[in-house]
Amino acid sequence: MTSAALGTAWEISNGIVRGEIQDNRPERLKTIGQTDWSTRSCELYHRFLFAWAEQIQPSLVVETGTDRGYSGINLALGCASAKVISIDNRSLCSDQLAELDLPNVETITSDSLKMAERFQDHSVDLLFLDSHHTYEHLSKEIELYVPKVRRGGVVLVDDITMDEGMVKAWDSIVYPKRTFDGMHGTCGFGAFQV
Ligand SMILES: C[S@@+](CC[C@H](N)C(=O)[O-])C[C@H]1O[C@@H](n2cnc3c(N)ncnc32)[C@H](O)[C@@H]1O
């Protein structure tokens, strides 16, 4: 991936937010979660996850924070040849994603901080950090997981403006970074390049 990757990601995000990029995802993704008010507002960043996976064609995707599996399914269908590993400390969440029955997804029930050592250095093509939203946890995830990302890889982070702690963690990131406005309401969404 070239150093322009962050700019490309930002352009795709902007295109989605402005309505310039059409939603070409499978019908299944357009309807999933539509009856759930709390995920309707997340639709744009889920669309971005699909588009970014489709764009970079990763081999290995790691997500911390599975929840209902909506980000996982967008990543998995965005690039069907990728292996998507999603980690959540609640077994209910792992079960929910597993129930979506995607052949390229592996769910793990664990504290994300305990799982980083499972991955080889520079082996992860796409990392999405979206688990416990505190300064301490996000900072520790960055410390443990970023060495696992291959050089030039773009790391996506959700909820970066959610509260003071998340803002502090985001501000501490020393890599080139950009915020993607309008992707997740007022909670914020950002990316940095390793
Ligand atoms: C914001 S939700 C994830 C949303 C999901 N990525 C999406 O966009 O559809 C956060 C998830 O992180 C999980 N979580 C919280 N603390 C965690 C930890 N220490 N390790 C792993 N997962 C954690 C929660 O159980 C919750 O399901």
Total tally of structural domains belonging to the chain: 1
- Which DSSP string corresponds to 170-193? HHT--S-EEE-TTSBTBT-EEEEE
pLDDT over 90 (residue 3): no
pLDDT band at 32 (very low <50, low <70, confident <90, very high): confident
Range of the domain at 112: 5-193
Residue 131 Cα to ligand 1 midpoint, Å, equals 4
- Residue 35 alpha carbon to ligand 1 centre in Å: 20
Residues 3, 148 contacting (CB under 8 angstroms): no
Distance 64 CA to ligand 1 centre (A): 6
Is the pLDDT assigned to residue 1 strictly greater than 60?
Answer: no
pLDDT at 91: 96
**pLDDT at residue number 40:** 60
The rounded distance, in Å, linking the Cα atoms of 123 and 134 is: 26
90 CA: nearest ligand 1 atom: 25
Of the spans 3-12, 18-27, 42-51, 58-67, which averages the highest pLDDT?
Answer: 58-67
Question: Can you tell me whether residue 145 is helix, strand or coil?
Answer: helix
pLDDT at position 42 is: 63
Report which protein residue has its CA nearest ligand 1's atom 14.
131
Q: What are the contacts of 37-46 at 24+ separation with CB within 8 A?
A: 39/68, 39/70, 41/184, 41/185, 42/70, 42/184, 44/16, 44/17, 44/182, 44/183, 44/184, 45/71, 45/158, 45/180, 45/183, 45/184, 45/189, 46/70, 46/71, 46/74
Q: How much distance in Å is there from the Cα of 130 to the middle of ligand 1?
A: 6
Determine the atom of ligand 1 nearest the C-alpha atom of 69: 9
- 90: CA distance to ligand 1 center in Å? 8
Indicate if the pLDDT at residue 164 is higher than 80.
yes
Task: Ligand 1: list residues with CB < 6 Å.
Answer: 42, 64-68, 70-71, 87-90, 93, 111-112, 130-132
Proportion of the chain in helix, strand, coil states, percent, rounded to 5: 45, 20, 40
Residues 190 and 173: their CA atoms lie apart, in Å, by: 11
Assign residue 177 the CATH number of its domain.
3.40.50.150
In the sheet that holds 189-193, the strands lie side by side as 105-109, 83-88, 60-64, 126-129, 154-158, 189-193, 177-179
Tell me if the pTM is above 0.85: yes
- Assess whether pLDDT exceeds 60 at residue 186: yes
Tokens 């793990």, residue? 108
**Token pair for residue 24?**
């070409």
Candidate of 44, 115, 131 to mutate for ligand 1, largest count of ligand atoms within 8 Å of Cβ: 131
Mean pLDDT of 35-39: 64
Q: How do residues 70-86 score in pLDDT, each as one tens digit?
A: 999 999 999 999 999 99
Protein residue with its CA nearest to atom 18 in ligand 1: 111
Q: Which atom of ligand 1 is nearest to the CA of 128?
A: 6
Q: Supply the pLDDT for residue 34.
A: 72
If you average pLDDT over every residue of the chain, what do you get? 93
